[in-house]
Amino acid sequence: MSPNPFFETWTTPYEMPPFDRVETSHFRAAYDAALAAHKAEIAAIVANPAAPDLENTIVAMELAGEALKRVGGVFWNLAGTESTEALRAVEREMSPLLARHFSAIFLDPALFARVDAVFAQRAQADYSPEQMRLLERKHKAFVRAGARLGEAERQRLGAITEELATLGTRFSQNVLKDEAGYVLVLESEDDLAGLPADFCAAAAALATERGHEGKWAVSLARGNVEAFLTHSTRRDLRETLFRHWSARGETGGETDNGAVIARTLSLRAERARLLGYETYADYKLDDTMAQTPDAVRALLDQVWTAGRARAGLEASRLQAMIEAEGGNFELAPHDWRHYAEKLRRAEYAIDDAALRAYFPLDRMIEAAFHVAGELFGLRFEEKHGLPVYNPDVRVFEAKDAQGRHVALFIGDYFARASKRSGAWMSAFRGQQKLARDQRPIIVNVLNIAKPAAGEPALLTIDEARTLFHEFGHALHGMLSDVTYPSLAGTAVSSDFVELPSQLYEHWLLRPEVLRQFALHAQTNEPIPDALIDKVMAARTFNQGFATVEYCASAFVDLEMHLEQGQGAQDPLGFERRVLETIGMPRQIIMRHRSPHFTHIFSGEGYASGYYSYLWSEVLDADAFAAFEETGDIYHPATAKRLRDFIYAAGNLRDPKEAYTGFRGRLPTPDALLEKRGLV
């Protein structure tokens, strides 16, 4: 084994992880040492003979575990982007050990006694608002973890937490195996009917990579699947690809997630009861903006009713198109995107393939950077020669208007078999000012189809929107300006964390941005004003479909976790019953079916919380209106409030207080319904 870089001080520029020296074999030894160090630090806090106070207890916990954060920051990001069987083996091994470690800390009665003592004295202390917020959040974390329970209940809760970690890892690895293990091989040029030239070139490259020289291949990455379903005129092939895509995690073999879901739901329900909540949803939502399942259901019901009505009209029009073409079949889920694109062309004269030529990846990255500059004074400079974990990864330094270093930003844009599907933001290192003024290293991960060598990557509108969405999350991490690590960046409630990302999407389709950055990949000509007008007019096109597929997933998530483990008896049957109850249109499926719903089953971040995107959309629609009302989408005073109260503020305030600080009031769903064209 080569020298373990986790036992060294990193002298790389910006203290970038030395990816060129990190090996899978390093992680277990690094974790063992980091866990031992963290245990010793916590033991020292417990053994401190001085009376508990903010510094020797709460702040001391914030300072502890730096080695563990460093190892974990690298490991978990590589596990999601550069997965190998060896790395997955470490993940399966470490997930329960880490869960056990942190559970033991939060269930340590002696440690909680110190935390509780500091909390009890808070009214008499002269704490700053940030110190008070830290204390309140830390105390609540202990209570929600079970610190007030008796010994037997604490032991059971620890065992549940450990098993859930194992199940979450197994779930995500099963989905990844299903996605990586299948490609639709296209045997002849007849199988390419309707597909854009750049898609075919990328499919040929993938086929060669997968050992099908001279043919074409389509992977199960969402971008690839949606492009194929949109453009392919081969209905039989659309159905084949769709069947495999929608059945990820439901194979009946070793990667089947049915039993994993069942056990997960049962354990979550048991944990909620141990903690004094009627259901897991009640437990999870108690620490969010929504607070109660009733509040979530009320929002979902309101949007679902309007969305389903619109989807019904959309389905009728698509069916009429099928019949007008002489098709003797009923519109099915694998048909919807194809005929919706045809209808969009007919109504708005927008050709998706032609439109994509104006959205090359490089230009969209520039556009995202430009908006950040106009709003927040940031400037981005690409850095070469830094260690990276994959040759396709790009690194940029973010500087402020005075030229000072703000953060490193890593862009990992292309799909590959070793990367889990979807798109996300994460951090190799977070921001803090406690131990030192530590600036963050933030990563955006997307799954855009890699183009053939020498060709530009062309994005759909949805892919460009995803790029802006994830960059909004990245800005939330990069602009963070708080003292304590546990309050920094995106460490906010799940139904507030999507506000910075969804709000940022609004700038993508502004004419001011499109005219400057939507330049044709071949001619470099700007997108014509007439095409901008068509894009703007089509913004609410197909919103019934989008609303239904999203809300259906949110309903299933909520209802599964409102059951006291009853859904665990037959999760897929329960999914069907929920969809029947809400009146799910037969021509649409959930955006994320339960067997591959990694948002809620590969961890607990969005469990009972997939509604969060909709909740945050209420906020983002109203928040962008704050700029529109000024007549300036970069209005300096509004942008400053946005930075101060949202992007830079981490978890310094309750989310409602933070939003009110920015906007002066809380929003209503009206702006959301208008944005989606549902009113």
Q: Are strands 441-448 and 405-414 parallel, antiparallel or unpaired?
A: parallel
Cα–Cα distance between 191 and 237 in angstroms, integer?
Answer: 8
Cα–Cα distance between 594 and 544 in angstroms, integer?
Answer: 22
Query: DSSP letter string over 464-527?
Result: HHHHHHHHHHHHHHHS---SSGGGSTT-S-TTTTTHHHHHHHTTTT-HHHHHHH-B-TTT-PBP
Distance set, CA 86 to CA 168, 337, 418, 598 (Å): 18, 38, 12, 21
Choosing from 341, 470, 575, 617, the catalytic residue is 470
- CB proximity list for 323: less than 8 A, separation 6 or greater: none
- Sign of the CA dihedral with 562 first, then 565, 568, and 573 last: negative
Q: Residues for the chain: how many in total?
A: 679
55 is catalytic: no
- CB proximity list for 150: less than 8 A, separation 6 or greater: none
Q: Which among 664, 40, 26, 78 has a CA at the least distance from the CA of 419?
A: 78
- CB proximity list for 331: less than 8 A, separation 6 or greater: 315, 318, 319, 322, 339, 587
- CB proximity list for 13: less than 8 A, separation 6 or greater: 383, 386
Phi, psi of 351 (to 5 degrees): -100, 115
Distance set, CA 442 to CA 63, 75, 387, 397, 477 (Å): 21, 14, 15, 10, 7
Q: Which two tokens stand for residue 532?
A: 């901008």
Bridge partners of 219, per DSSP, are 183
Cα–Cα distance between 163 and 165 in angstroms, integer?
Answer: 5
**Beta carbons of 569 and 592 less than 8 angstroms apart:** no
Share of the chain residues as helix, strand and coil, in percent rounded to the nearest 5: 60, 5, 35
Residues designated as active site: 470
